[in-house]
Amino acid sequence: MLVDSFGRMATDLRVSLTDRCNLRCTYCMPPEGLDWLPKPELLTADEIIRLVGIGVERLGITEVRFTGGEPLLRRELVEIVTATAAFGPRPQISLTTNGIGLARLAGPLAEAGLDRVNVSLDTLDAATFVRLSHRDRLPDVLAGLAAADRVGLRPVKVNTVLMRGVNEDEAVPLLRYCLDKGYELRFIEQMPLDAQHGWQRENMITADEILGRLNGAFELTEDDPGERGSAPAELFLVDGGPQRVGVIGSVTRPFCGACDRVRITADGQVRNCLFATEESDLRAALRGGATDDDLAERWMAAVRGKKAGHGIDDPAFLQPARPMSAIGG
């Protein structure tokens, strides 16, 4: 099992399939994009499938989330999901995506065994979408969401990052939209993971501010906190429920004590925390002929060294060298 020195067990695996993205969200990367990983450095589909299999069949992984970069850009995505669904015990399989291309791929992904999706949507305004992501693709995202819902990739969850002076006034309209469509909205505090290192605490819209804005328009009551477990989102019933909204206060309300996540980057590095400054190279081991036992051993050692918390509030905090897009959010 993947247990750290504080007794936390990693059961939720986030696998980044590519560091490339077709949007340029300002909280993630600069408008010109980044130097993408050269193809030979990316894990192949077979390598990804092998590692996922080791995680599920030997190391107690029960949930696999594919992410990126933009995972829909990975040509072998359907093949990778199909192979993941064949491992036993069958893990829950989900995808974090910006939704571009999901209108076409939702059906094949559901057939392959994908259980649900998280779609990122920060605005309902086309001009703000362009300002925020440097691409004019809002209709594609909304079509992707609708397709996911239609083929049953439910609950369809929506991730929103609010930014001061950009989309901070959209908390209420976004929640109304999601309630109307039957999607479950989660607001995420902006974290210091942008490639430009432009994050500033005073510009972050905090969980308290988000709740303040929502409370003006809806009646929010805390959903059974005993049920939260390792989930990053604090959940609230909206107007008595059953529909809910979540707030992920990664910075101001950290949940590291209950963290059950471990990540593999698109180039095969194990990261035991989003904010880790050290990684363990499974790709070199894979390509050097390591056995499944060797790989499992390295992976366990990587998790054992996980720190107690992300330390954003620590004066000695250092932003990781990898931006979010190259880690896998």
Binding site membership for [4Fe-4S] cluster: which residues?
Answer: 21, 25, 28, 256, 259, 273
> Of 11, 26, 98, 243, which one interacts with ligand SAM (CB under 6 A)?
98
Closer CB to ligand SAM, residue 174 or residue 188?
Answer: 188
Q: Does 265 bind ligand SAM (CB under 6 A)?
A: no
> Of 28, 132, 153, 220, which one interacts with ligand SAM (CB under 6 A)?
28
> Nearest distance from residue 26's CB to ligand SAM, in Å?
9
> Of 18, 84, 96, 265, which one interacts with ligand SAM (CB under 6 A)?
96
CA-based radius of gyration for the chain: 19
| Cβ-closest position to ligand SAM | 329
Quick one: DSSP state of residue 226?
G
Q: Does 194 bind ligand SAM (CB under 6 A)?
A: yes
Kind and range of the H or E run holding 108: helix 102-112
Quick one: DSSP state of residue 67?
E
Q: How far is the C-alpha of 232 from the C-alpha of 61, rounded, in Å?
A: 17
Q: Does 188 bind ligand SAM (CB under 6 A)?
A: yes
Strand ranges (E), the chain:
12-16, 63-67, 92-97, 116-120, 157-161, 184-188, 220-222, 234-238, 244-248, 261-264, 269-271, 280-281
Peptide bond into 71 cis (omega under 30): no
> Of 26, 84, 120, 269, which one interacts with ligand SAM (CB under 6 A)?
120
Closer CB to ligand SAM, residue 268 or residue 329?
Answer: 329
**Piece of the chain touching ligand SAM by CB under 6 A; list 141-149, 170-178, 191-199, 306-314:** 191-199
Site for ligand SAM in 47-86 (CB under 6 A): 67-68, 70
Q: Please give the backbone phi and psi of residue 230, each rounded to the nearest 5 degrees, phi first.
A: -95, 5
Strand partners, 221: 237
Instruction: Assess contact for 171 and 213: CB atoms under 8 A.
Output: yes
> Nearest distance from residue 152's CB to ligand SAM, in Å?
20
**Token couple for 285:** 């081991």
Which parts of this chain interact with ligand SAM (CB under 6 A)?
21, 27-28, 67-68, 70, 96-98, 120, 159, 161, 188, 190-191, 193-194, 324-325, 329
